[in-house]
Amino acid sequence: MKKIHTIIATTLLSFVFYNNYAQQDAQYTQYMYNTISVNPAYAGSRGVMSILGLHRSQWVGLDGAPRTQTITLNTPLGEKERLGLGLSVINDEIGPTSETYIDIDFSYTIPLSEQSKLSFGLKAGGHLLNIDFQRLSQFNNNDALFETNIDNKFSPNVGVGVYYHTNKFYFGLSAPNLLETDHFDKSTTSSDSNASSFLAEERVNYYLIAGHVFNISDDVKFKPAVLTKLVFGTPLQVDLSANFLLYDKFTLGAAYRWSAAISGNIGFQISDSMMIGFAYDRETTQLGNTTFNDGSYEVFLRFELFKKYNRMLTPRFF
The CATH topology of domain 2-311 is Porin (2.40.160)
Nearest 5°: CA angle at 264, between 260 and 267? 140
Give, for 127, the enclosing helix (H) or strand (E): strand 117-131
Instruction: Parse the chain into domains and list their residue ranges.
Output: 2-311
Name, in order, each residue with C-beta under 8 angstroms of 290's C-beta and a sequence gap of 6 or more.
Answer: none
Lowest mean pLDDT among 60-74, 185-199, 278-292: 185-199
How do residues 142-151 score in pLDDT, each as one tens digit? 665 666 778 8
pLDDT at 32 over 70: yes
The answer to whether residues 67 and 23 touch, using CB atoms and an 8 Å cutoff, is no
DSSP code for 141: T
How do residues 89-114 score in pLDDT, each as one tens digit? 999 998 888 999 999 999 999 999 98
